[in-house]
Amino acid sequence: MEIKEYIEEKKKSIDSALENLLFPLKEYSALYPALSYSLLSGGKRIRPVIALATYEANKEDSRPIIPFACAIEIVHTYSLIHDDLPIMDDSNMRRGRPTLHRVYGSDMALLAGDALLSLAFEIVSSTSHEKVFTAEKLLAVVREFGKATGIRGLVGGQVMDMVTMNEENVEESMVIYIDSRKTGELMKLAIRTGAILGDAENSELVALSEFAENFGISYQIVDDILDEVATVEVTGKDTGKDRKNRKATFIALYGVDRAREIAKDFVNKSKDYLKPFGEKYKVLMDIAELSLQRMK
C-alpha cells in the first residue's frame, strides 16, 4: 500500500475512534461543544498514525492500541489550544477555522485544554486494557505520557520557546532543545507507546526513540518554514507569526533555504537509525520522507 493511502486509512480509523471516545462526555459538560470543536476539526493525525505503524511493525492487528493513539492526539490538541491562547502565541486560525478561544473565549479554551490532558491520562490508564496488556506495560506507558507532556517534554519546550522570544544571539543548540521538546517529545511518545505495547526489543526502542526525536525536530522546522513562506489558505493557521514574535527558529538563525536543508538532514539522520532493521520500519521512514514534501 502507498504511504499516502496508508495514512489516509489510519486517519479514518482515528477520526472515528476520537468521535466515539468523546461522545460519552456529551451529557456531562457544557464544555463538550468546545472539546469537539477542537478535537474533531480535522488535523493530519500524524502522531496516532505513527503509533499504529510502530505497533503494526511488531504485531498484526493495531486495534488494541487505537485508544492510546487517540490519547496522543488528544494531548496534541490540548497543546495546540493552549499554544493559540492570547497569553501564548495569540493565534486566530487553526486547522482552517477560528481558534477555540476566538469562538468560545479564553476561559473555555483553557479549561478545554486542561480537560483534554486529563482525558488522555484517563484513557491510557483504563483497566479495560488489562485484558490485552500487562499492568507493567500499561504503567510504563502512563509514565511515558507524564514525561512527554511535562517539564522534561512539551511544557519544557514551550517554556524555552517563550523565554527566548525577542532574545538576540540564541544558540543553535537552544533551537534544537526547543524543537525536540515542543514537537519531538510527542513524536517520541507516539513511537514509544507503539513500541512498548508491541513488545519491541529494547535495542529497537532506543533506535525508534532517536528516529522520533530527529524526525520531530525536522517536523518543527518544516512547520516553521511554512509559517514563513506559506499563507493561511495553505496552512489553515496564522502565518508570519515567528518573524513577528522574533521566535528562536532555524529560519531566524540561517534563513529559509538553509532551514530546508537542515530539515532534510534531520530526516536523513532519523532514517539512519531505522536502517539496521531493514524493511521492518519502512512505513515510519516513508512518513518522515513524505513530511518533507510539505515545505516544497
- As a whole number of Å, the CA-based R_g of the chain is 18
- Give the residue with the Cβ less far from ligand GRG, 219 or 273: 219
Task: Please give, one letter per residue, the 3-state secondary structure of 142-191.
Answer: HHHHHHHHCCCCHHHHHHHHHHCCCCCCCCHHHHHHHHHHHHHHHHHHHH
Establish if 82 lies at the interface with ligand GRG (CB under 6 A). Answer: yes
Residue from 11, 21, 35, 43 that binds ligand GRG (CB under 6 A)? 43
- Give the residue with the Cβ less far from ligand GRG, 65 or 225: 225
Residue from 15, 185, 204, 223 that binds ligand GRG (CB under 6 A)? 223
Establish if 158 lies at the interface with ligand GRG (CB under 6 A). Answer: yes
Residue from 53, 54, 74, 83 that binds ligand GRG (CB under 6 A)? 83
**Residues 31, 115: contact at Cβ < 8 Å?**
yes
- Give the residue with the Cβ less far from ligand GRG, 10 or 82: 82
Instruction: State the amino acid at position 1 in one-letter form.
Output: M
CB of 54 to ligand GRG, least distance (A): 17
CB of 120 to ligand GRG, least distance (A): 13
Establish if 112 lies at the interface with ligand GRG (CB under 6 A). Answer: no
124 grid coordinates = 491510557
**Residues 280, 203: contact at Cβ < 8 Å?**
no
How many residues bind ligand GRG (CB under 6 A)? The answer is 17
Contact positions toward ligand GRG, by CB under 6 A? 43-44, 46, 76, 79-80, 82-83, 95, 154-155, 158, 182-183, 219-220, 223
